[in-house]
Amino acid sequence: MTLEPLEREVATISPKPTARSSSGRILMLSTALGWGGGAEEQVMLLSLGLRARGWNVKIVSLLPLYPLSTELESSDIPVCSLHMKRGVPDPRAMLRLRKELRSFQPDVVHCHMPQANLLARAVRPFCPFPVLISTLHNLTMERINGSSGRFLEVAHGWTDRYSDLTTVICTPAVRSYVERGAVPADKIAVLYNGVNSAKFQPDLVARNRLREELNLHNQFVWLAIGRFEKAKAYPNMIRAFAKVVAGTTEKPLLLICGRGSLENAIRKQVRESGLEKYVKFVGVRPDISDVMNAADGFVMSSYLEGLPMVLLQASSIGMPIVATDVGGNAEIVINGVNGYTVPPGDDEALARGITRVMQLPAAERALMAERGRQLIRRNFEIERILDRWETIYQNNLANKWRR
């Protein structure tokens, strides 16, 4: 099957003015909010950006809310939950969502993640609204704990008629979802995640402060960020890092930010590998941009990704990256330009990539950092991404008005 073009270009159409708002009303429906995932972070970033551009925005989460970002809490964007429990179907959520829709009367409902997509599609026939956009934030619907997402893919295929457009966050996801029957080829488009490069930028003051706080001294510091779950493949990272430590006189340090069900198992692996001096667990940090500034390189060992926010942020700050070549990672990490990509599950290749970056002259690493920042500004800056989202919303609304 040939899928061309992989990324749709959308023509700019001026939106039809509404009596309620200069830009319109948009309801962001997310499976979760505040739990720490990249998709949730993107929902908050888009919502804040759209509100600043004149959209009337409301966010609804299927699951209970966890602590939100300071920027979102201090904004005037209303946020609420449908009070569903993870992994437990709840028909009452349809009634709660219908109530929110009737109260808010959105022009656009933009859903994020499979469960939110399916709930909005189930409600739409009983509570019509002009436009429904569905966004998938991973390469497949396999869950982060490794369980199959095949039912979700089939359900997306069955309910596609109720969605106006499905977007994915990386080019390889187009082929993945079309071939799995989750989305027809003529109703899918690529739209990258965006990053705020003004927030994620080099900061020498933050670097010095965090390195002193974390007692990092003059070591070469690698940083990994992500939940301790199967898809992140932390055991591979620890095995690779053990090879790096054993093979170099320059003993690096690995900082790991995150939490999850496999954390105790990973801590045990670190102890049994004799890496207690070289691996530091720092939990979930609210100051991720500062922590990134304190590090010298970023490493990712996942076997399943979409377009990871942490890679965008690390590249925006200017960190050489070593990451597995999965999902959209290779659209952020250009091999030999701003880092290196390696096959997933290959401890030796990951160790070689880490060692290779450490052995580069400082000037070459600085050049990698600058190339990474240029890549972000060119392709992933949040203002560019917001431009494209507004065009998609306005085009779909214009099509509805023409009909």
Protein fold of 25-193+381-397:
Rossmann fold (3.40.50)
**Whether the Cβ atoms of residue 45 and residue 196 lie closer than 8 Å to each other:** yes
The predicted pLDDT at position 295 comes to 97
Residues 353-378: tens digit of each pLDDT: 999 999 999 999 999 999 999 999 99
The predicted pLDDT at position 147 comes to 65
- Percentage with pLDDT > 70 across the chain: 92
Average pLDDT over residues 232-238: 97
33 versus 299: the higher-pLDDT residue is 299
**Whether the Cβ atoms of residue 27 and residue 58 lie closer than 8 Å to each other:** yes
Average pLDDT over residues 25-39: 88
403 versus 352: the higher-pLDDT residue is 352
Is it the case that residue 95 has pLDDT exceeding 60? Answer: yes
C-alpha to C-alpha distance for 30 and 82, rounded to whole angstroms: 10
Please, where in the chain does CATH 3.40.50.2000 lie? 25-193+381-397, 204-379
The lowest-confidence range among 55-64, 81-90, 391-400 is 81-90
C-alpha to C-alpha distance for 148 and 106, rounded to whole angstroms: 33
Give the residue carrying structure tokens 């939950």.
81
- 204-379: which CATH number, 3.40.640.10, 3.40.50.2000, 3.40.50.2300, 3.20.20.450? 3.40.50.2000
Is it the case that residue 111 has pLDDT exceeding 90? Answer: yes
Question: How many Cα atoms occupy the beta-carbon half-sphere of 122 within 13 Å?
Answer: 17
The predicted pLDDT at position 74 comes to 86
The predicted pLDDT at position 55 comes to 97
C-alpha to C-alpha distance for 256 and 145, rounded to whole angstroms: 19
Is it the case that residue 2 has pLDDT exceeding 60? Answer: no
pTM given for the model:
0.89
The lowest-confidence range among 32-41, 58-67, 202-211 is 32-41
Question: Mean pLDDT, the chain, as a whole number?
Answer: 90
Average pLDDT over residues 275-297: 94
Residues 144-181: tens digit of each pLDDT: 655 668 899 999 999 999 999 999 999 999 999 999 99
C-alpha to C-alpha distance for 310 and 276, rounded to whole angstroms: 25
Residues 245-275: tens digit of each pLDDT: 999 888 899 999 999 999 999 999 999 999 9
Is it the case that residue 1 has pLDDT exceeding 90? Answer: no
